Amino acid sequence: MHQRTFDQFARIVSERRTRRAVVGQFAALVFGLIGGGFQARTASAQTLPLGSECMASFECAETEICSYLTTDFLSTDTYCCRPAGGQCSVDADCCSSRVCSQATCGMAEPPPTAETSDTLVAQDPACTMVEIYPGYPGYRGFVAGLAGPGEVACLEQLQRQFPWFDRDREDQENAAAAVRLGLAGGPKDWVWENWLAIEAERGSPLTCYICAREQFVAGEPYQAGPADPNDIRLLVGTLGASNELVFQVAARHNLDMWKFQYVATTDYQLRALAWTANAPRHLNAWELHSVYDAIAEAIAAGQGVNWPAFIIALTQGGYAPTPPNAAYEDQLFLVGTALESQALSLSDLMARSLRYRFDALVRSWTLERATGSTQGLGEFLCPNFQECASMLTQ
């Protein structure tokens, strides 16, 4: 990075001004950074063969994208592969652990689970299958969208085993907490970040949702509800290394995937960008879906869509408003994803520097927690970033 550009960035993130001004100037600087460098890179780029390691989708053939071959969100290697619906010969041709079926990339088989709700209903016609939400007996955080369809149970069985359980009362308390948070919609519209906030608002023990995701990936049996292809909670991003959502948003707006390379390369980077654009609101799945389209429309119009997602996340505990007593894993994910979203718009040197600083501060926060501190990750990090502290005083 040229010294003049670095000085511009340093001045923007150190001067005291409103959030709107910071976002506008940051976006202008970021798109200035990527403009010239990107043109130079594409001029000499050659199409890579299917399965080759890559850094961006423009390096791959038109029918391929640069993505992960597994859904392991700790994976860092990306390859030229074919998204859902693409033609294939073997499973390895497909992105994100998909399978090649009838020469087409499709969904991979889910981990082993208990019997599906359809089977149980067939065995017991008197059984009413309901999704399990906070306050329900046996709730573990397996909500729709976290790792597929949500966990369900037989309502009559729950009421027999737990006579104290009142479904209407729990639903009403969840709805009342959502109203206090300013969260629109209902349970069929709420994603796991919403449920975390609802639990905190109710004063209930907080579920570790990233832990629940890891349990699912490890094959933890659970009673899955029937998959509904129109369930909006399943259409706003997949946890892990998936970029299928980014691909779909780009396709809806006739955008080439390379135009997203400095905006979002995974579903949750796009999710973090969308949420921080609306801070400090609580967004439901439908609202997230609308913001994704707004971002794509801005990209198509040549407008800047990069803002300091990481700095904004620090002011509210995560890319979504996050309680300071949330599980360690959830806080780390909600802040870390925002960091990775913002890092895409920085030079390699600045991105590495930001990650190094973040890692060092997280270690310090972890030690503080071990000694009994109740300070959230965002609260701990914010004073170490001058722009974050300035935002909080506006």
Q: Is the pLDDT of residue 11 over 70?
A: no
Q: Tell me: do 321 and 341 sit in the same domain.
A: yes
pLDDT tops 60 at residue 8: no
| Residue among 313, 330, 308, 307 at smallest CA distance from 382 | 313
Q: Which tops the pLDDT comparison, 273 or 111? A: 273
* Shared-domain flag, residues 383 and 260: yes
Cross-strand pairs, 100: 105
349 phi, psi to nearest 5 deg:
-65, -45
Same domain, 126 and 258: no
What pLDDT is attached to residue 229? 87
What is the count of structural domains for the chain? 2
| Residues 314 and 206 placed together within one structural domain of the fold | no
Residue 244 and residue 203 share a domain: no
Asked if the structure places residue 30 within a domain, the reply is no
Residue 115 in this model has a pLDDT that exceeds 60: no
CB 275 within 8 A of CB 307: no
- End-of-domain residue from the set 174, 206, 227: 227
Rounded-to-integer distance, Cα 100 and Cα 85, Å: 10
What is the greatest pairwise CA distance in the chain?
72
Residues 241 and 330 in one domain: yes
Domain boundary among 198, 227, 256: 227
User: What is the CB-side half-sphere exposure of residue 174 using CA atoms within 13 A?
Assistant: 20
Residue 159 in any domain: the answer is yes
Which whole-number Å values give the CA distances from 211 to 144, 215, 253, 331, 333, in the listed order?
15, 6, 35, 12, 11
Tell me how far apart the alpha carbons of residues 365 and 375 are, in angstroms, rounded to a whole number: 8
- Mean pLDDT (the chain) is 81
Same domain flag for 241 and 219? no
pTM of the predicted model as reported, rounded to 2 decimal places: 0.71
Asked if 375 and 260 sit in the same domain, the reply is yes
Shared domain for 178 and 135, answered yes or no, is yes
Report residue 61 as tokens. 């053939």
Check pLDDT > 50 for residue 14: no
Looking at this protein, which amino acid is placed at residue 183? L
Q: Which amino acid would we find at residue 28?
A: A
Contact by Cβ (8 Å): 204, 134: yes
Angle between helices 348-370 and 328-343 (to 10 degrees): 170
- Average pLDDT for residues 50-64, to the nearest whole number? 77
Can you say how many angstroms the Cα of residue 154 is from the centroid of all Cα atoms in its chain?
30
Identify whether 178 is part of a domain.
Answer: yes
CB 9 within 8 A of CB 22: no
Q: Is 273 contained in some domain?
A: yes
Last residue of a domain, one of 178, 209, 227: 227
Q: Does residue 299 share a domain with residue 209?
A: no
| pLDDT of 386 | 81
Residue 357 is assigned to a structural domain of this protein: yes
Q: How far is CA 366 from the centre of its chain?
A: 23
> 124-176: per-residue pLDDT in tens?
667 899 999 999 999 999 999 998 899 999 999 999 999 999 999 999 999 99
**67-90: per-residue pLDDT in tens?**
766 544 344 467 788 876 778 898
Position 106 in a domain? no
Q: Are residues 266 and 343 in the same domain?
A: yes
What's the DSSP call for residue 185?
Answer: S
Residue 139 is part of which domain span? Answer: 117-227
Distance of alpha carbon 120 from alpha carbon 243, whole angstroms = 34
Kindly state whether residues 244 and 212 are assigned to the same domain: no
Structural domain includes residue 12:
no
**Is residue 215 one of the residues assigned to a domain?**
yes
DSSP state of 342: H
